Amino acid sequence: EEQVLIIREKLAELYESEQQWSKAAQMLSGIDLDSGVRILDDMYKLSKCVQIARLYLEDDDAVNAEAFINKASFLVSNSQQEVLNLQYKVCYARILDLKRKFLEAALRYYDISQIEKRQIGDEEIDEDALEQALSAAVTCTILAAAGPQRSRVLATLYKDERCSKLKIYPILQKVNLERILRKPEIDAFAEELKPHQKALLPDNSTVLDRAMIEHNLLSASKLYTNISFEELGTLLGIPPQKAEKIAARMIYEDRMRGSIDQVEAVIHFEDDTEELQQWDQQIAGLCQALNDILDSMTSKGM
Amino acid sequence: SFLRQVSSLLRRLPAMESEKFQDDFLMEYNDTLLVAYLAM
Amino acid sequence: DADAIYYYDEAVLAKFQQEKPWTQDPNYFRRVKISALALLKMVVHARSGGTIEVMGLMQGKTDGDTIIVMDAFALPVEGTETRVNAQADAYEYMVEYAQTNKQAGRLENVVGWYHSHPGYGCWLSGIDVSTQMLNQQFQEPFLAVVIDPTRTVSAGKVEIGAFRTYPQGYKPPDEPVSEYQTIPLNKIEDFGVHCKQYYALDITYFKSALDSHLLDLLWNKYWVNTLSSSPLLGNRDYVAGQISDLAEKLEQAENQLAHTRLGSFLLPSQRKKEPEESQLAKITRDSSKITVEQVHGLMSQVIKDILFNSVHH
């Protein structure tokens, strides 16, 4: 087995140098890590599992990579090797991302982006890598299904002042403040997405489309008391029937408060904020607007 | 632009104008008077 | 020189720590100065706890008979009045925080602890007295601060008290005079038993030049908060609790009055007039306080209605 292991590692190295990632991964996954003949120490097993997972991920092959990351997750808890732990974390986040578990992936990306050390083992942790992890966290959060959990992660990211320097910040701001996103902004955001994030869903729309429509629908529910599906469809850029179907699902999943009058084809949004509290909010907005006008008049010397 | 801002500001008045608001407001008004009466 | 107070003179304070003047006089410390920053942090933290008591520590120094609180930080502890030694949950956190502070060049030591009494006033309960006594044995100089976030909202000013306990068994020469405050019926016993074991210190506040600048900026927007908030909304539960407490106290006073009337046929000279009057006087005072706060709240609602709802196109 010893000789086989050496040959496999050598071949894997060659495949890797030719960037044939999956072949290299297959070559390594042929090594029998659990054989009773030789006692392999846990760290060696862990490093192999993580290496194979990374190779599969180079080809965006989440299924095979996940098999090895699951094996690694039993070994990583008592691993002291920080480089390996970091690689494991990155693999795990990317697998969640590829499997469209966007919210969990976002939390792991964010955790990675907060690494304080700049030197782990012989690996240099540069700011770009951390910025990429942060940006990936924002992207995944935006793609996640709208709801209270996503809002919490959005708020955390929005408060993190590193995000204000990201190219993606304007979108993050609008999504966090529950403002409606226009088509040009969505298209610009789509440019940054990875292939799997643009993949088509069974109903022939992309993950991004769904996330954006749901987001805009939630934003509209903050703006309007009620709206006809005709108007809503126009606002969201989709047919009225589809708008009604998505709204119905979100109400059913308790991610939006409201009721649908199918005879009139109108949706009535509900806001569980008490009338008197809404009144206070309206007054705060009015005073703020008055204050802004006075400030800008003062600055113009009027 | 100031005039536009001012006119949009005025358009936001009255701040609240719903049946339910009136009910809630008067309800709270009466409750508070009742509390004052009770305390007296 | 307004910011001179922020300078930490290690030598002077080390000398003071050695002399330990507070061991000669149980009432040695009489005054507390709290920074605007520490006050804001403690009030915000107390309010975040809602109806659950929260606690934290205060950092600062001493200057003669004055304890100066420069900063405060929350402890990962809730429910200080429901457990004998809630602080124990946070020992590890406190040690680590203190060390990190030193590394970061913050020289101020912990000079006390604060916790909240949501809705039932600023005083020390039995648990608080024993915690403070323990702290005054091993961590002098140490101060106890209590904040009532609920009354802060309804009164429109920070309800806060600063206390120090007397040594075990010490009898204060005269009754410690403390400002009148409503103690709920279900807490009166706890309050009564221990209220002679500690005394209140005078509290003043200070702020730095930067604080003044920032608070002035905030003040420009303060009027928006005043117009767009309503104490009636935020404190309904508290007001309801206060009125039911009043009703219970009235009933109790009435029963006692009945007893005394019965008793007075036997020993007219023994008729103890003061307690009922002072009891009834307290209840009257509490009820007028509630009324005033309610009417204030209603006045602001009516003014807002006239200002913002009566304009029609």
B25 part of contact set with chain C, CB < 8 Å: yes
Ramachandran category for residue C249: left, alpha or beta (phi over 0 → left; psi -120 to 50 → alpha): alpha
Q: CA C297 → CA C118, C223, C304, C305, distances in Å?
A: 20, 16, 11, 12
User: Of B2, B20, B28, which has the smallest distance from its Cβ to A297's Cβ?
Assistant: B2
Cβ–Cβ below 8 Å for A284 and C304 = no
Q: What's the confidence (pLDDT) of residue C262?
A: 58
Give the separation between CA A60 and CA B28, rounded to whole angstroms: 60
Interface size, chain A vs chain C, as Cβ–Cβ contacts under 8 Å: 29
As beta bridge partners, residue C68 has C33, C61
Nearest to A247 by CA among A272, A274, A227, A264: A227
pTM, two decimal places: 0.69
Q: Among partner residues C220, C228, C233, which is closest to A284 by beta-carbon distance?
A: C228
Q: How far apart are CA A207 and CA A220, in angstroms?
A: 20
Chain B residue with the nearest C-alpha to that of A284: B15
| Residue A99 backbone dihedrals phi, psi, to 5 degrees | -90, 10
CB contact under 8 A, C230 and A276: yes
Residues C229-247 have pLDDT tens digits of 888 887 888 888 888 999 9
The contacts of residue A103 (CB under 8 Å, 6+ apart) are A140, A141, A144, A145, A149, A150, A153
B35 and C246 in contact by Cβ < 8 A? no
Specify the range with the lowest mean pLDDT, choosing from A288-292, C34-38, C89-93: C89-93
Quick check: B29 and C298 CB within 8 A? yes
Report the pLDDT value the prediction gives residue C268, as an integer from 0 to 100: 52
Torsions phi, psi for A269 (to 5 deg):
-85, 145
Q: List subunits contacting chain C, requiring 3 or more Cβ pairs under 8 Å.
A: A, B
Q: What DSSP state is assigned to residue A200?
A: B
Partners of residue A288 in chain C, C-beta under 8 Å: 224
Q: For C227, which of A274, A276, A283 is closest by C-beta distance?
A: A283
Q: What is the pLDDT of residue C313?
A: 61
β-pairing, C66-78 with C198-200?
Answer: unpaired
The arithmetic mean of pLDDT across residues A204-222, rounded, is 88
CB–CB of C67/C29 below 8 Å? yes
Helix (H) or strand (E) holding C203: strand C202-206
Q: Which helix (H) or strand (E) holds C55?
A: strand C54-63
Q: Tell me whether residues A287 and C224 touch, CB distance under 8 A.
A: yes
Q: What is the per-residue pLDDT across A54-79, written as a single tens digit (0 to 9) for each?
A: 999 999 888 999 999 998 888 888 88
Partner residue facing C233 (CB), from A277, A286, A291: A277
Least Cα separation, residue C154 to chain B (angstroms): 14
Q: How is residue A193 annotated by DSSP?
A: -
- Rounded distance between C-alpha atoms, residue A165 and residue A147, angstroms: 26
Query: Confidence band (pLDDT; 50, 70, 90) for A145?
Result: confident
For residue B29, give how far its alpha carbon lies from the nearest alpha carbon of chain C (Å): 7
Res C177: pLDDT = 60
- Are C301 and B25 in contact (CB < 8 Å)? yes
Question: Given CB atoms, is C185 within the 8 Å cutoff of chain B?
Answer: no
Query: How sure is the predictor about C178, in pLDDT bands with cuts at 50, 70 and 90?
Result: low
Q: Is A226 helix (H, G, I), strand (E, B) or coil?
A: strand
Binary contact (C308, B33; C-beta < 8 A) = no
β-pair type (C198-200, C160-165): antiparallel
Q: Check CB contact under 8 Å for A284 and C224.
A: yes
The highest-confidence range among A35-39, C165-169, C205-209, by mean pLDDT, is C205-209
Residue of B12, B22, B23, B35 to mutate, testing the C interface (most C Cβ within 10 Å of its Cβ): B35
First-last CA distance in chain B: 53
B29–C290: do the CB atoms touch at under 8 Å? no
| Record: contact B14-C311, CB cut-off 8 A | yes
Alpha carbons A240 and A233: distance in angstroms, whole number: 5
- Determine the distance in angstroms separating the CA of C308 from the nearest CA of chain A, rounded to an integer: 7
Give the whole-angstrom CA distance, residue A293 versus residue A288.
Answer: 9
Least confident of A187-196, C29-38, C112-121: A187-196
Residues of A in contact with B25 (CB under 8 A): 275-276, 279
Per-residue pLDDT tens for C86-144? 777 788 888 888 888 889 988 899 999 999 999 999 999 998 999 999 999 988 999 99
- Using the Cβ of A297 and the Cβ atoms of chain B, whether some distance falls under 8 Å is answered with yes
Distance from first CA to last CA of chain A, Å, rounded?
87
Question: Subunits that touch chain B (at least 3 Cβ pairs < 8 angstroms)?
Answer: A, C
Task: Specify the pLDDT at position B29.
Answer: 93
> C-chain residues within 8 Å CB-CB of A287?
223-224, 227-228
Q: Looking at the partner chain, which of C221, C233, C308 has a beta carbon nearest the beta carbon of A286?
A: C308
Separation CA A87–CA A144 (nearest Å): 24
C176 versus C69: the higher-pLDDT residue is C69
The alpha-carbon radius of gyration of chain B (Å, integer) is: 17
CB spacing of A277 vs C308 below 8 angstroms: no
Cβ atoms of residues C98 and C134 within 8 Å:
no
Structure token digits, residue C253: 């006073």
Q: Which of B2, B16, B18 sits opposite A293 (nearest CB)?
A: B2
**CB-CB contact of C125 with C190 (8 Å):** yes
- The pLDDT confidence band at residue A203, using thresholds 50, 70 and 90, is confident
* Closest chain B residue by Cα to residue C290: B39
Q: Tell me, yes or no, if A223 comes closer than 8 A to chain B by beta carbon.
A: no
HSE-up of residue A296 (Cα within 13 Å, Cβ side): 10
Inter-chain CB pairs, A–B, below 8 Å: 40
Nearby residues of A250 by Cβ (< 8 Å), 6 or more positions away: A146, A214, A217, A218, A256
Is B32–C305 a contact, with Cβ atoms under 8 angstroms apart? Answer: no
Predicted local distance difference test score (pLDDT) of residue C276: 47
- List of chain B residues whose C-beta atoms are within 8 Å of the C-beta of residue A285: 12
> How much is the ipTM here?
0.77
* Residue in chain C nearest A291 by alpha carbon: C221
Q: How much of chain A exceeds pLDDT 70, in percent?
A: 99
A241-289 tens-digit pLDDT = 999 999 999 999 888 889 999 999 999 998 777 888 889 999 999 999 9
Residue C17 phi, psi dihedral angles, 5° rounding = -60, -35
Q: Taking the alpha carbons of A128, A130, A132, A138 in that order, is the dihedral positive or negative?
A: negative
Q: Give A13's contacts (C-beta < 8 A, 6+ positions apart).
A: A24
**B9 vs C: CB within 8 A:** no
pLDDT digits (tens, 9 = 90+) for B6-23: 999 998 889 888 888 999
Contact list, A283 vs chain C (CB under 8 Å): 227-228, 304, 308
- Quick one: pLDDT at residue C40? 95
Cβ contact, residue pair B14, C310, below 8 Å: yes
- Minimum-distance CB partner of C287 among B15, B29, B39: B39
pLDDT tens figures, C285-300 = 888 888 898 898 899 9
**Which two tokens mark B6?**
């001012």
Q: Are A265 and A230 in contact (CB under 8 A)?
A: yes
Percent of chain C with pLDDT over 70: 91
Chain A residue closest to B10 (CA)?
A286
Question: How many angstroms separate the CA of residue A158 from the nearest CA in chain C?
Answer: 21
Q: What is the pLDDT of residue C45?
A: 95
How far apart are alpha carbons C120 and C52 in whole angstroms?
A: 12
Q: d(Cα A87, Cα A49) in Å, to the nearest integer?
A: 11
